[in-house]
Amino acid sequence: MDASDDWLPRRIMDRIAEAMADTPVVCLLGPRQSGKSSLVKRAFPKRTYYSFDDTGLQATAQHDPAGFVASLPESVTLDEVHRVPEVLPAIKMAVDENRRPGRFLLTGSANLLLLPSVSESLAGRIEIVRLHPLTEAEKERKPGRLVVNFLEGNIRARIGPSAPDASDLINRILRGGYPEAMRRPNMTRVRQWHREYLDALIEKDARDVANLRNLDHLSRLMTLLSTQTATLLAIETVAKHLAIRRETVQNNLAALERLFLVRRLPAWHVNEARRLVKAPKVHVVDSGLAATLSELQAEDWTKRRDRFSHLVESFVVQQLIAQAQWTDSNPQFWHYRDRNKFEVDVVMTRGRKTWGVEVKASAKVTPADGAGLRRLAEQCGKDFQGGMILYVGASTIRTVDPRTMAVPISELWTS
């Protein structure tokens, strides 16, 4: 990143502009420190801007939500609106009186607006746009077209250098996508920032999104999930490991999801496929934060390969989901696993059309790779559209199954 201009254009800007052109309320949701405030200020510099991180403003809005909203200018940006959900019914009333597009641009660092008790007050009046941490394509100022090319069947064989260097991938995974982490000069400083970020987030925002009695439980759960990222979620096992009740785990897990720290990737299945595992996978959203909390370092690429392989998978899942937002029709994401232990790391669907992606932390692809994709194709029949094995190689090549291509992970930020 050029130190003279550290602003990196966000691919989601066009989506926000389109929504502002025809929707009265647009809400940009994403993790704290993902760049929401910078984005709305830069994209809409002439709009009046208020942040509910200002405790005085927050108290005023909470005391008299209707009066606060009535005093606002015709076009306004309200940052960190999850802190004052009381203003949402007042915004609804204002919109019902004047449905002019783009009146309210909201941002939130918690998924509070997706809860029924909150979102129903603005149903039909709001469009939610999600901002992820920086993708690797955005860091490189590239269009990030791998997902689009994959869904459209436009991936072609290509011979690359014979000796790929994994160090670049390792560094990208360990730093993650938070803009502030990118500005740190070395990994020691990056890890310090990650720890302080999590501490501040839990202390400042956690009770805004869930009724939590013990924030230490939340911190311990986040650390445990970081060591188990990209694995099947077993609530009972987690509860036993942390010596807390199952209900406490569920409540804290919901809080971590609402804070955009973790995601549950549901299991893909069809009604007639009774032998499929139905448990979701859990992924820590930012690979850098997961690496810090699980104490993985660059040398663990070889020393603790199994653990690092899971981190690679979560890294890829996040890149794919973020890139998918840039497509015309946003696909749904799943994972696949059956009781014979055939699995596919990522399943993407559009209606019944289905694609599969496997992730390999290896520079070679063997004939045995893609077995899960072949099993998924059997389950889907004619609805299977294609497979992709993302690996640490340099060439895009066909596999033993002509429907599946082996593609360098680096295509996530070079295409």
126 shares its domain with 141: no
Domain shared by 170 and 71, yes or no: no
Position 82 scores a pLDDT of 87
Q: Phi and psi (nearest 5°) for 404? A: -120, 135
Residue partners of 277: CB distance under 8 A and separation at least 6:
232, 267, 337, 338, 339
Domain stops at, among 80, 114, 130: 130
- Statement to judge: residues 201 and 88 lie in one domain: no
- Assess whether 116 and 150 both reside in one domain: no
At which of 106, 130, 154 does a domain end?
A: 130
In this structure, the answer to whether residues 70 and 186 fall within a common structural domain is: no
Within this chain, do residues 255 and 372 fall inside the same structural domain, yes or no?
yes
Residue at 6 is within a domain: no
User: Is residue 7 a part of any domain in this protein?
Assistant: no
Which residue ranges in the chain fall short of pLDDT 50?
1-4
248 and 339 in one domain?
A: yes
Q: What is the pTM of this model?
A: 0.94
- Give the domain extent around 88: 13-130
Task: Count how many Cα atoms sit within 13 Å of the Cα of residue 233 in the half-sphere of its side chain.
Answer: 22
Pairing of strands 281-284, 231-232: antiparallel
Residue 127 CB contacts under 8 Å (≥ 6 apart), including other chains? 19, 23, 25, 26, 27
Say which residue the tokens 């794919």 belong to.
Answer: 320
Domain match, 171 and 277 both: yes
Q: Is residue 3 part of a domain?
A: no
Q: Last residue of some domain: 102, 130, 158?
A: 130
Q: Are 232 and 151 in a shared domain?
A: yes
Q: Does residue 8 form part of some domain?
A: no
- CATH number, domain containing residue 115: 3.40.50.300
191 to each of 65, 75, 303, 405, how far by Cα in Å?
Answer: 40, 39, 20, 35
Residues 333 and 233 in one domain: yes
**200 assigned to some structural domain:** yes
- Confirm if 361 and 305 have CB atoms less than 8 A apart: yes
Return the closest-CA partner of residue 40 out of 97, 109, 138, 123.
109
Q: Are residues 366 and 277 in the same domain?
A: yes
b/e per residue 249-277 (b: at least 16 CB within 10 A): bebbbbbbbbbbbbbbbebbbeeeeeebb
pLDDT for 2: 39
Does a structural domain hold residue 125? Answer: yes
Please check whether residue 114 lies inside any domain of the structure: yes
Residue 4 forms part of a structural domain: no
Helix or strand holding residue 237 (H, E): helix 235-242
pLDDT at 18: 94
R_g (Cα) of the chain, nearest Å: 22
CA nearest 336: which of 265, 405, 398?
Answer: 265
160 and 123: one domain? no
Count of domains observed in the chain = 2
